[in-house]
Chains A and B, each alone.
Chain A
Amino acid sequence: MAQSFQTTLGSRHYRFKSLAELMAKATPARSGDRLAGVIAESAEERVVAQMVLADLPLTTFLNEALVPYEQDEITRLIIDDHDAEAFAPIQNLTVGDFRNWLLSDQATSEALSDVRSGITPEMAAAVSKLMRNQDLILVGKKCRVVTAFRNTIGLPGRLSTRLQPNHPTDDVTGIAASILDGLLYGSGDAVIGINPATDNVAQSVKLMRLMDDVIQKYQIPTQSCVLTHVTNTLEAIEQGAPVDLVFQSIGGTEATNRSFGFDLSILAEAEAAAQSLNRGTVGRNVMYFETGQGSALSADAHHGLDQQTCEARAYAVARKFNPLLVNTVVGFIGPEYLFDGKEITRAGLEDHFCGKLLGVPMGCDVCYTNHAEADQNDMDNLLTLLGVAGCNFVMGIPGSDDIMLNYQTTSFHDALYARRVLGLKVAPEFERWLTEMQIFQDVKTHRLNDQLPAAFANSLRHLPKEPRHDV
């Protein structure tokens, strides 16, 4: 039974018609909620909403679905999979108490891991709305989510990178050039992942083979992924293509995912198919998901919710399928959802916190488009904050410039900066490989080799003399 929520502050009476409205109005300001018409009408109303939210018992979210159970398979997933036993230690807390508990010395990494399956996305979203950036960082760092395929991602003191060698026409030499550049800067332990210029099966299989050849020849302890639609990857598996990870963009409502052309049963099928190939050596996490605040509104599938709550619900989808990597592409969607560096930074920290709290191996595409009010300095700040928060991985791209997707993300150099100032290392298996290949002089002090390593010097001798144009 839906209830309304009200309080009086001085002479003013505030009333919030629904839990969805209360959640939306308690959300720190951002353009996407303004666009959706769900944002608080004043700064005071926002804090009043946070105060009312702080007094709600966590159990409210088990009794009142924000998207109706009958209409949405993600709501059903959240409710049906809720683990009452894990929830027991926190079941009597309000949202405000929950914040205190998360920050307290009682909430050790082990305790956080134990309650994980008792926390719903809506509880995570609600408590995040009361938290300052430093709270999101502190608790995020305590939550550990470790996954594995050909190496181990998310161990304490590690920061991995996705090597993203995109090319506007998928030119194989152009892609190989960016892969070489990345490897020689120590990038690629999370995954070597290509966004194909053309999204079809034949093209994807070609790129899968290209990356598989490189990984095999140099015996790189990492995995590859072509970021094509899940149904394309399923077809590629049927054709016998070398598929390491299955990619899919996911959202937090069933209608969002239908607009992306899949449902939960397809993800289950894809996970089983990729696992049946047995290509991992140290683990069996075979899924790579991408998310981002604003995708549900963009698909007109947000059910009147704020964009951050929708985003947290996407992590319920992710955790169901044991992903190796989940990447919030935080600044890609544009200023109508996250207007400037401040909003992008806040969203990146929220997404990392909510994902980790729910047990999702969160990484972040620290990024912006040219029409957002953001620049490299904003990205430096967010990258540093996420490094402190224990983010599992970030992107690595030549010189921050994605020439295929036309946006800016973190560079190979940026990741090395973060590792140096924060004392972070790559995945352990990859660390050994970097040393063996003589890419690093000293991997502990983050010193690259000034000389070109022998194996790669040899490869450069095979370069074609001139690029062929317009064949």
Chain B
Amino acid sequence: MPVLDQNGTQVWRRRTGRESLARWFGWLLGVAIFVYCWQIISDATTWFFVWDAPRIANDIWTRATPPRWEYITQLGRPIWDTLNIATLGTLISLCLAVPVAFLAARNTTPSALFIRPIALLIIVSTRSINSLIWALLLIAIIGPGVFAGVVAIAIRSIGFCAKLLYEAIEEIDQTQVEAITATGASRWQVMAYGIVPQILPAFAGIAVFRWDINIRESTVLGLVGAGGIGLQLSASLNVLAWPQVSLILIVILFAVVISEWVSAKVRGAII
């Protein structure tokens, strides 16, 4: 924060002239980019449909209410599949994420030069790609079904879990590790006594947090054919059975709320 000397009197300004010029230029550039982006979206939009939107929304609403409650009898199995996709996917991903995290953390990696970059690449590539895309890919490879969903969720979650876990590993108290090393413990014993107890709470928190997210994601995997309640959603949308769609949406909302509640409870119990 500069104090300028203007004609002998000292004037306080938050920023120097050059700084404020740069800021204004930055803002101008930002606004220009935004306007340009908006222009492109607007050009690609059929505005007639947009002006018609309230009528269509109203139309869909009247068709979708009331939900077709008796359809719920056919949703039992899909919900069970959805739960399994999320849970098994999370468990598999945790098994894979733990070694990746240890290889990626600066203080536990065997080689910062060769192995760490590979681990980081696994982390960034698995988490950059949405589980729906993984599902698309796996369906093309191993065919549609619940199994593809499980694997898609598992792969997608590796990067997420490993990233949070390796950050937790890098934040541990190093003197506790030193103390265990000083007793003459082997590398694995140092891991089991010095590092694991310190990251266990973080690990449990990450697992439950990711499970919660995976419940959400597995509800829509069926849209591309990877099993779960999304399959019914997709089928109902295809035949424009709006009362069924609304029922499925209610069920999904319900599942999401419950999973969030469970995950909050479990995390509260751990920490």
Indicate whether A and B interact: no
